[in-house]
Each structure stands twice: as structure tokens, then as C-alpha cells.
Structure 1
Amino acid sequence: MIALRRRGWPHRLPASGARALIASAITVLASFGTGGVAMAAIAPAPVSLTDITVHGGSLTALLTVRASGTPVSLPAGSVTATVGNADAPVTLQPVTAGRRATTLLVDTSGSMGASGMATVAQAVNAFLASAPPDVLVGLVSFSDRPHALVAPTTDRGAVRRAVASLKSSGETTLYDGIFTAIAQLGTIGDRSFVLLSDGGDTRSRHTLSQAAEALTSSGVRAEVVGFKTDESQDSVLTGLAQAGNGSVASATNPTAVDSAFTAAARALSSQVRVQLAIPKGLSGRQQVTVTAHSGNHYWMAGRTVDLGAATAVDTAPSSAPATPAAAPVAPAAPRAAFSLLGMPWQLAAALAAVFLGVVGLVLALVSPMLKSARTKRVDSIEHYVNGTTPAAQGVPVSPSQLSNTLVELGEKVMEGRESTSRTMALLERADLPWRAGEWAVLRVVAVVVGIAGGLLLLHASTGQMVFGVLAGVVAGLLLPSFILRFAARRRVKQFEAQLPDVLNLVASSLSTGFSLLQALDAVARDAAQPAAKEFSRALAETRIGADVDESLERMAERMDSENLRWTGMAIRIQRQVGGNLAETLRTTAGTLRERESLRRQVRALSAEGKLSAYILIALPIGLFLYMNLVNHDYVSLLWTNLIGIGMLVAAGVSLVLGIFWMRKVVDVEV
């Protein structure tokens, strides 16, 4: 027989029973040394100490036992404790005396599907049926963004109705959902959430490390249910459970999900609030150990508590994170950005934009009416001279007048700018019948649309929204110019391709006895666009007195055609020195065809090099975007770490240099 005395438990057991108990104690001590969580003598049953407060000479904590089967009952005398190396008297208090709240944190992204939503509804019903009636239950879902659907309440019907209306769609914002759940639970009493997710996250504004830190600092307990574990990120779920001083359970089918939710509800029924009398002479950081037993199950939980500052500090490994002893402070769901008059800066900016837009519209509508008496008299004289009827007084301004006002404002902005002449030349070359003011209004509209598109696509965080606004401004400023240059270049290429046939048509007309003007008229009538329109314009200039050489030269400048300049030079020389103009034009057309053939041959030979350049340019950019999508934490080191920022800058410079170098290699002038 072996005598055993342990904290007031005088028993005499048979040798075999003592050996079994000693083996269990060794297991308990081993697990306590590695994480502060004990293992049961028969089956693993982790425990945790949360909601720790120190007041005067006593310490109060909530002991949660997660055991399978029926809820665990811990009667008086089954719980003992030590503070430091001294025994501490334990008093059990009703757990219902304090506030207990839990939030169901549900993944509703597109990966869940309709079957996943049915599983969620069934599991939530099982949880609500097993949870103690005094526990406040809330609901938070997360897909493209987190949504706090139901605040913690004892109305189980409200939670069931909200769960029944959940739909699966969009991306996943797991980490943002954790911040929302922490904020919803508040800072008072025992707080926990039950998370159902596969651990994936595709567009949160927060990171895994930030979510884990928020769980540790807030004291919220995390009960994690890993759904579809074949596709889940187990390390993420385990890290969240450890940071939240909770547990993680794998569930690959609806039955397993129901069991996991039911176990989380029974853990709430297995809670007991313990009050320890702190031994005299102890202060500062002390190890608090609580031991409990029920039947032949034994559990042990330990925390390091600062008795002076009344806060819990974790010195064990990450498997048992620390919980604040004083009323924990839950971080805000998204970190509050700059605010103006109590409102977020995004809302303030939107209201300012709406205000400026309304003011601009009112000014545009009212400005035609705000005319001086002198201006009205001058307008009356002009209307009389021109034979038009003056506008009636008091008639509302029409949309055409508003557009004219905006265009006139654009004309004033474009007037005197160096780029205006180049812009008008491009508009004329692209055959776009726009004025400079209309182009300015179009640029402003493009900037507004770009900003709206950037905010629509990138709105997950403040940084992304700022980047979206900047990207929208850049796109609105550069994209119209790029499209205009592309349209002008495309029309010039069509004109250049038609020019040899046009010259042959003029030569044939000259050979039949037509004059040069008659030959140009045939081109205007029979040639394809854009050659027909341009030669028709040149012919119209000659009919009002311009010389044909000057008309062809202006057409060459307008179309920026080097071939047409050579053609005009050949016609001018022939008219000065004489000769066969038809034969000269045929020779010129043949030369142009040979140059175009050589240009196409060079383009074909350099196509492989250009394709390789495009692939080499797109590969690092595409790989960066893909890695940012599938492993954001890994890629984020490039802009959150000084070395990473240097690498990113070096990579960008190298990419730009490579683009210019490859462009020079494959660009062959003919």
C-alpha cells in the first residue's frame, strides 16, 4: 500500500491505482511545463483560466473545462490552487453571477457554398440548444467584409433567423472578422467566440499576427472549428486558438461540425468561477496554478499574474497565451483612421466632393443669368444684328447651355498651354471632332471615373483606398491621352498602308489625260477611308485658292506621314523641272511598297524577341500579384520591412532598365 497526501486529499490506494495516478500526475506536470494545459488521466481535456481579476487580497478567475460527453461538474473541494509556492484557499462562486457572452463567427465566403450554409444553420441550432440560457449569443459573418448581424443577446430566435438568412458569396476576410467579433463582445465578463472557417483569408486589411495579438491582449477566448480541413490552413487555425487560449477541432462533415459546436456549448456549461485568497507576503509576478478533478479526470491550468498591477502576463509558450487580469481592452475592429468632426475621413471626403459638385452645378446653372446690364445690352445688339431672337428672361437653363458653359470653362483652362497645340493635332489626326474645351472636360470626367473605380476595387483598408484614389487619378490623367495617341497612330498606319494604291490611282488618272486636280478628285471619290477624307480636304483647300503643293504638305503634317512628304516633294520637283509625273508617282509607290514589305519582314523576324520581352516583363508582376493573393503575409514583408522595401525598389529599377534595354534590342528602324 502507498500512502498519498496531496492538498488535503488523504487516501490510501492499492499499488496499481497509485501507479496509474502517478503516471497521470507525470503527464499533468509535463503538459503544464510545456503550455500550462493539463491532460486528463483517461482522455485529453484541456482547460483554461480567463477573466482574471485581482482585487484587494483575492484573485478571481473563470475556469473552463473542455471535456467530451456531458458537461463536467466540479463540486466544492474538487478544486485546489497555489499562488507562488503557497497553497491558496479556494471558494467556488456561481458562474451565472457574471456576464458571459459568446459570438458565433461564421465564414460566408463563396468557398462555403449552399451546402456549407446548411451545415452552419444546423450547427448553430445545435449550439443554441446546448448553450446555458444565461449566455449572451451574438452573430458575426465575414465574406468580402465582416458584418455584425446580431449583438450578444439571450434571444435565441433572433440568432436562428439571422443564420437562416446567410448566403455564401465573395472573398474571405477572416482576420477582419476576428476584430469585429472582439469589438462586439465588449470588455466586461467572460467573452469568447466560436469560429467556423477553413483558415483561409484573401482580402483582410489586417494580418494573422495582428489578429493573434488582438486576441492575446483582449482576453477573448477562441473556440475554433476547422471546416473542410482537407483544404484548410491548419497552422492558421491552431495559431488563432492558441492566441485566444482556446481549442481547435477539425470537422470534415456536417456531423463533425455539429459535434464541435455542441462541445463548445458544453464547455460553457462546464465553467466555474474560482476565488483565491492570496497568501500574505506575495506580490508582483506570481505563478497561479489551479487543479481540479472530477471522477478519475484531473486537470491543471497555470497562469502568471502580476498581483501588483492586476494584470495577467503569460510566460508559458504560445499554447497558453496570457490574459489581462484587469478589465481587458478589446481593440477596435478596424483601426480608426483620421477623422474630421467625428466622422471617418473617407465619409468627409465623399461629402466634400458632393458639396463641391453641387456648388459647381449651381454656378454653371446660375452663371448665364448673372449678367450685367452692359452685357445684356451688347447681347441684344448682337441678336439684332445677327437676326436671332434674344433668349427669354427667366427661362431655365437647358442641359445644352450647361454643357456649353463647361466646355467654355475647359477652353479657358486649355488656352495658352503648350500642350494644347499637340492635343489638337492628335485630335485632328485621329479624326475626332472635339474642341480643346471638350477634351478638357473629358479628362476631368476620366479622373472622376478613375477615382470611383479605384475606390470600388480597393476599399478593404485605408492604405488600399489611398492607393486606389492615386491609381484612379493616374489612370484618369494618362488613359485618355494613351487612347488618343493609339487612335491617331492607328489611323496614320491605315493611311500609310493605302498611300501606294492612292499614288497608283493618281498615276493611272494622269496617264488617261486627267489633270492632277482631277486625279485627286478621283481619289476623294473612289479611295477608302481615311485616304478619301484627307484628299477630299486637300482638294477643298485648292478650290478656295490654296496651291496643291501646299495642301499636300499640310496633309502630310496633319497625318504625320513621312511617305506623303516625299510624295509632295516629288510632285513639287516635277512641277518645277518638268517630266512624267505619272511615272514618278509609280516609282514612288513601288518604293513605298518595298519599304512596307521590308518593315513587315523585320517585324516578323523580331516578333519572337518582342513576345519574349512581354513575357519577361509580365512574369514578375503576375507572380507578385499571385503571391500577394495566396500568401499575403509572406509578400507583405516587401513593404513592411526595410530590407524588403530596398529589394522592392531595386527590383522596380531593374525592371525599368530591362524594359528599356529589351525595347532597344527588338526595335529596328526601317
Structure 2
Amino acid sequence: MITPTEAKRLLLAFLIALIALLLLAPPVSAQESGDEAPTVEEVENAALLTVTSVERDPETGEVTIEAVSPIELAGGRLPESSISVLANDAFQQFSYAPENTDALQIMLVIDVSGSMLGEPLDAMKEAALSFIDRLPPSVRIGVVTFANQPEVIAPIGTPFDVVSDSISELEVGGETALFDALVTASDALVETEGAPRSVIVALTDGADGASIALPEDAARALDVGRIELHGVALETPDTATEFLADLSLKTGGSFNRAANESLLALYDDLAARLANRFTISFIPNRESSDSAFVVISHQGVLASARVGYEPIEASAATESVGRGESALEVADSATSFALAQPFRMENVGWIGSNTARNIAVGLLAGTLLMFGLLLSFPTPRMTTLASRGREYATNAQVSDFTTRLEGFADRRLDSHGRRSKLTRSLERAGIDLRPGEYVVVAGSAAIAVAFISSLFVPWILSLVFAGAVILGSRALLARQARVRVDDFIEQLPSTLQLIAGALRAGYALPQCAETVASEAESPTADEFHRLVTEHRLGRDFGEALQAMADRIDREEFTWVVQALEIHRTVGGDLAEVLDNINGTLRDRNFVKRQVSALTAEGRYSAYVILSLPFIVAGVLMVTNPEYIGRLFDGLRGALAIMFVFLLMAIGSLWMKMLLKAKY
């Protein structure tokens, strides 16, 4: 059986070997071809190259990468000399095959129902015209519009300028016959010969309400023609496009929701994805290779991506990846393209082997601690959109090991009935992590602290430190939730005043919520933005408001929700009711601040008393380390430290209860 000391030595040896391996990595070789390689500064500022799939042949070891040209280069064909492939710290020989756009036909299916009047129509026209401009001239395109019934306004093969003129002259009116339009567009594509790849790009802002065809008819028509459907839904209160989303994914296409202002960027990227694909194939110079970098440098545009694949020893697997890693990670991970000799131990002769070992361990320890602490620290919850309005960009790849850990953590939380509670705590704290992710991050930080502390203190004390990290992560979560809710309640009087003013100005309650979401400060703006979003997606406003009250879980906001529900039931002057609640809240806040001022001396005395043990211990470690070292030597010292922390926790809770104001 391995003793704790032996286990510590094995772990230390593993870390030294790992650091040495990283430090002694060979430099990147120069590119074989005559093209000049990008510099580090250029790569750091590169855009992100979109990679759609990666596959490796298990027999030959050949890697096939399918990617999309950057939007800035849409409509043209990339020369082979503009592409570089780096694997195993060396540039690879590869074959390059751009997609044959002569065999591509695209049918634009556009909603021109009455709900598209105004800004949605203008945004649609701008996006569709830009989409056409970014297509290569060899692509055949057509347009089908639909309101009460579909109409082919531009058959497949219509010249681009004629199609653009037809779109510019579109007018709206009527209901939505989406299913009929999909059937009509599919039939028009099937009747065209000589185009093995057929694509429909369908835009709508609401659910079907006028079609003769059934959803099954539309799905059957797409399946018969082997047509790829890309659905786009404009975000409106009437948007209900679950069928379009499911059908798009089943046909191998994509589905995206977009606001009016982001529709242009979405269509531009769709054009790049549909008509600017290319394939790269190469055989790595090492069979154990598991990743490569693809860099494009053409006409002043620089884009890069890192892709992963299975080593030849393992079974080949096809992976779909979203956006590649950032160009800065390319420079860091592969030491980029123009770095000189790498850092080696023998190059630092002014330090000894023990110092080098400590530096290596310290570097890894610092990295682990920073990683855990940064991810454990609460961050404001926000909806993360992909750059340039690409809301539909897929998440970056996560390792299978991490995924399994998160799944295991989720299952354990479910088995103990704690997942929903942790989810609610994360939402209240505004932390953008799932429960499994949070548990994995906290556990990783605890393991790192336990390992590093075991190098300097007895193993049982290192376990105490690990437990302190776990408890500290929960305390941080609770504190962040409390601080965020307190900030919300602190802003509530101003929020109610804003709502009351909007009501007196003639706004409806949902419009008042939108006003708060756009004009208030965080976290009030964040919570009301979520309320507005849930309402737009079809949830009843009262239910969304009650869910918001459950997240906040404070009686002050519960009063507001109850007042709003009573007003919705019996009517009355809601603005006056909110003013009365506002006055009560301001009085409570005044009392709270007064109590805080009167108890300030007691609170700061408690802070000083709680900090004294740490200050004294730190001074003794510097002035008389042998004396205080006995405290860390053996089981009795560890138990004494645990008892001290327990007493400090009890004293802290007691002081908190004494100083807590009750109304």
C-alpha cells in the first residue's frame, strides 16, 4: 500500500516531469514553402476561422478538415498559397479543394405577412441583399415569398440583379403560410437539374396560420429533394417556430433566432458558410498527432483555428467543432510561427536544481489556483453572443474527461436532490455556470490546494485546507447571491419610481419592464431583461414575474409582485400603489442604514478580533518559525487548528445574529 509520503513524492515527480516536458519542447520549424509565415503580433490579432468538421482515416492516418472562409473573403476563392497547416511543431504538406459552387442552388424563402411591416421588413431586405452580394456568381439563386399563400417571384437561375430588384420591391400583408412556402420551394428545387446540393434559407417571424399543407408535407418535400434547410426566426412576441427549428436540424442545416439589428450579420455568415467552404487533407508527420493549426492569410485578412482529432493508435472519430481557438492561443500553444529557441533548464545556470524544481511546482500551483479562483469567483450573468452577431455559433469543444466529470457531478446532485437548489443559488448569484460545472471547478480548486499544501504541511492539515476551499466556495456563492439581491433591493425604490412614471405616461406593464431593462443598473437591468425575454418567448407575464420574485426571494419585491397581480385582477391606480410601496421601502432602508451606523463599532471590533489569530500566526512564522511549527506537527496540532476555526465560525454567526435588524 502506498503511504502518504510515497504518494506525495510520486505526485511531485509527475509534476516535475510534466513541467520539464513543456519547457524542453522543441522550437517550431520554419515553413517549407517560400511564403512568408505570419509573425506573432499578426497571429495575436487574427480573426477566428470557422471549422465545420474534422475526420481522420484510421487506416491511412489522413486528416480531413472542412472549414469556411472568413466573411471578409466571401465571394472569392482562396489560393492554396494563402493557407498554412501546422502540426507537431512543423508545417505540413496538404491538399486543398474549394467547394464547387457551380453545383449549388439556394432558394430564399421570405415571410411577407403583415407582421413584417416596418423595421422587420427593412432589416430583411438589407440582410437578403447583402446575402446575395456575398455569393459567388456561379451559385444559382431564387426567391419564394409567402403571406396568405406562397409565390415564386424569382425562379432558380434568375440573374442576381433581377433577384435583388425583386427583393427591394417586396410589400407585406396577410397571414403566414410557412408550410406551403416550404413545399413550393422544395418543388422548385427538385425540378432543377444539374445541382446536387440544394439549400433553402427560410425567414419568418411567427407561427404558421394559413397553410393548406401540413407540417408533415413540408418535411416530406424536403426529404424527397434531399434539401438542406437553414431557418431564421425574427425575435418578436409572436415568434413560435419550434417546427422550423426541428426541421432545420433534421435536414442537416441550422436554426437561428435574431433581432432586427443582428439579422444582417447572421445572413452574411450564412452566405460564407454555404458558398465559401473548402477542404484540407494532410497526413501528419507523427502518427500520435492529435491537433493541428490552420491559418489563412490573404488580402490583409488573417484567420486561424485549432482543431483536434484522434491519434492513429485510437479509433478514428469524426468531430464537429464550432469556432476555432483564438489566435492568441495559437501563438501560445504552438509557440507560434516565428519564436526562437524555447526556454530550457540549462539556459538558467544562475539557479540550482532545487530552485528550478520549486519554480516548476510554483508555476503549476499558481496556474491551478488562479484557474480555480477565477472560475469560482462570481461573474455577472449575461447572455453571451458570438462575435459579429453570430448567435448560433456553437460552443468550443470540451474534453471528454471534463464532460464525464460534469455528468457525474450532475447525477450525484440529482440523487441527493440538491441540483435544483444549487441551480437556484447560481441564478441568484448571477454566475453563468451549470451545477455540474460549478462542482467540478470547486473540486478542482480543492484538489489543487490539497496537493500544494501537502508539500509543506502534514497531510491531514492539507485535507483541512481542501475542505476550507469547498466551504469557501459555498460561502462565496452565498455571499454573491446575498450581495446581488441586496443591490437589487437597494435599487428597488428607483425601479418602482421608474415604473410608476412609465405607467403615468401611458405605457403597458410589459413596456414598463422593457424600460427598466434598458435604463436601470445591474442587477435590476439583468433580472428585468430576463423577464422581458421570457415574456417574448411566450411565457405569461405574470408567471415570469412570479419566477423572478422566487429568484429574488425577498419580501420587499414580493409585495411589488402581489400588488401587480392584484391590479391585474381588480384594476385600480397601479402607479399610486407603487408609490405607496416605494415610500414604505424608503423608510425601511432608512432604518436599516441607521442600525448599520449604530452597530458599526461592534462590527469592526468583531473584524479585528477575527483577524488577530491570523496576524499573530503570520508574525510568529516570520520571527519564530520553530515555535509555531509545533502547531503543524502531528495530529494534535491539526485538531487544535480545526477547533479554533470552529470557535471562530460560531463567534461570527453569533455576532451576525446580534447585529441583524428585524422589522
TM norm. shorter chain > 0.5: no
Give TM-score, length-normalised by structure 1. 0.39
Structure with more contact order per residue of length (Cα contacts < 8 Å, sep ≥ 6): 2
